[in-house]
Amino acid sequence: MLSPRVIVPFVLTGSIWGSTWLVITGQIDGVPAAWSVFYRFALATPALFLVAFLMKRRLKLSAPEHRLAVLVGLFQFSGNFLFVYHAELYVTSGIVAMMFGLLMVPNALLARLVLGERVQRGFVLGSAVAIVGVSFLLWHEWAANPEAGVVGGNVALGIMLAMLGILAASVANVIQANPTGRAVPMVSLLAWAMLYGTLFDLGFAWVTAGPPPLPSAPEYWGGIVYLALIGSVVTFPLHYNLVREIGAGKTAYNSILTISVAMLLSTLFEDYRWTALTITGMGLAVLGMVLALRARRQKSVQVQQSARMRDHTSEDSPST
């Protein structure tokens, strides 16, 4: 865990992903959010195909694999990001990032429903603590908004959009874990999914926002490049290398660093005000996520130990 090949990518991915939430706010300032989503993935898609090619992963998919890529693209690279970009029109970017820290909750519930995976008691307890913490942060966001007393006000709309984005991302995570998805190299599946999602983003943007705008501000296009290449492509190999080095359970703790960076940047650049309520909420949210992630990691370790015991018993048993 303390070796440079683990620490460096761990810090880089958490810091980069934490910063993307703030960069998004510059992409929706005077530019339709739908077109910013399209521009981001129009640049990221060919770069991700290039990554798959350089990693020597197969790019030819079967018909069922293409159908899965279409679904992942619609939920992950269209629904998820379209909801997130629009949510940040109404809610502080760090708060949206904090809400996405709860992605593990619908992931677990959908995995239980679709894949039959059991949910650990410790995971339920930790998730409940995290939800209470995030609720404190959302309550502060609501109270600080001038339209807080209006039913259907801006903050309420932002929260709803963020929750829809979380649900879309969770569906994408679960459906790609089926047997068809596991048979495809992850980078290849995501490259095709991103392509299909980008095509949908193009159609959605044109129908809802009209012809594509061409902002003249260099900062806008710099943000597009950062989100597409650094935030969407560079971090991908780093993340999955971490999964190979230390396992998915330990890698998941990266989400704590991500939301911490996002909240720090919101404090510095979005004038986010800390109070006793928000400090308590942040503390409970992080504590709950740690408890939930620890429970899932223990479950993963138990599954791996059981598998090794079965293999060992099989090797020791007499042949027939």
- pLDDT per position as a tens digit, 138-194: 888 887 765 544 334 588 899 999 999 999 998 988 888 788 888 888 889 999 999
Distance CA(65)–CA(63), nearest Å, equals 5
Give me the pLDDT at residue 309, please: 38
Contact 43, 225 (CB under 8 A): yes
pLDDT tens profile 4-19:
778 888 899 989 999 9
Confidence at residue 146, expressed as pLDDT on a 0 to 100 scale: 54
Predicted local confidence at residue 226, as pLDDT: 96
Per-residue confidence (pLDDT) for residue 153, from 0 to 100: 55
The answer to whether the CB of 32 falls within 8 A of the CB of 214 is: no
Tokens coding 141: 């966001």
What stretches in the chain show pLDDT beneath 50?
148-152, 300-320
Q: Which residue has the tokens 């829809």?
A: 164
Q: How high is the pLDDT of residue 234?
A: 87
pLDDT of residue 296: 67
Measured from the Cβ of residue 42, the count of other Cβ atoms closer than 10 Å reads 17
**Helix runs in 29-178, H state only:** 33-54, 63-72, 81-87, 93-100, 104-110, 121-144, 154-175
CA 273 to chain centre: 25
